[in-house]
């Protein structure tokens, strides 16, 4: 699984399957996991992390439902092709809006919060990093696009 590191924080109230799901998404988004990379088999990862196989299977199933991974018998679970839009995404070329955009933002916020927490950062650190990112050219462009849509 390349250099992607996975760990479960037993002091975190977030269920282990959700911690695992968020970490894998974070690794995909950061490029630590690339398209077609194979994730460890359910039993192996469960053993490595001290989890029940059903916990890992649940995380993989949710990731597959969200379009992050694909699972095929004999080929295992692999990172999905990035051009494939996860279910519920707007059609290509259409700006996100409404409920879909709200859910996408909420999911991104949960993923960001989980990544920051697992990395040992405080809420203050995370907010500061987000504020800095908001001021980057990409952040300014996104705000400009939002204003044009209104």
Residue-wise pLDDT for 17-27, tens only, equals 999 999 999 99
Q: Give the structural domain span for 139.
A: 98-149
Considering its fold, how many domains does the chain have in total?
A: 2
**85 in a structural domain:** no
Looking at the fold, whether 103 and 75 belong to one and the same domain comes out as no
Q: Is the pLDDT of residue 140 over 60?
A: no
Looking at the fold, whether 53 and 20 belong to one and the same domain comes out as yes
pLDDT of residue 132: 85
pLDDT of residue 130: 84
Q: Is the pLDDT of residue 141 over 90?
A: no
Q: Is the pLDDT of residue 97 over 80?
A: no
**30 in a structural domain:** yes
pLDDT of residue 87: 46
Looking at the fold, whether 53 and 103 belong to one and the same domain comes out as no
**90 in a structural domain:** no
In sequence order, which ranges of the chain are alpha helices (DSSP H)?
16-30, 42-49, 53-65, 98-118, 123-134, 137-149
Measure the CA–CA gap between 125 and 17, rounded to whole angstroms.
25
Record the pTM.
0.57
Cβ neighbours of residue 145 under 8 Å, at least 6 residues apart? 95
Looking at the fold, whether 74 and 111 belong to one and the same domain comes out as no
């Amino acid at each position: 699984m390349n250099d992607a590191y996975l760990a479960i924080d037993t002091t975190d109230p977030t269920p282990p399957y959700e911690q695992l799901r968020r970490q894998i998404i974070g690794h995909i988004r950061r490029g630590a996991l690339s398209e077609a990379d194979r994730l460890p088999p359910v039993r192996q990862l469960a053993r490595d992390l001290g989890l029940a196989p059903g916990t890992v299977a649940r995380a993989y199933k949710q990731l597959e439902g969200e379009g992050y991974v694909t699972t095929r018998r004999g080929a295992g679970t692999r990172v999905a092709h990035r051009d494939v839009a996860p279910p519920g995404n707007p059609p290509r070329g259409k700006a996100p809006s409404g409920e879909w955009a709200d859910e996408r933002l909420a999911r991104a916020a949960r993923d960001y919060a989980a990544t920051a927490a697992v990395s040992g950062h405080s809420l203050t650190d995370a907010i500061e990093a987000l504020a800095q990112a908001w001021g980057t050219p990409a952040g300014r462009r996104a705000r400009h696009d939002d204003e044009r849509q209104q």
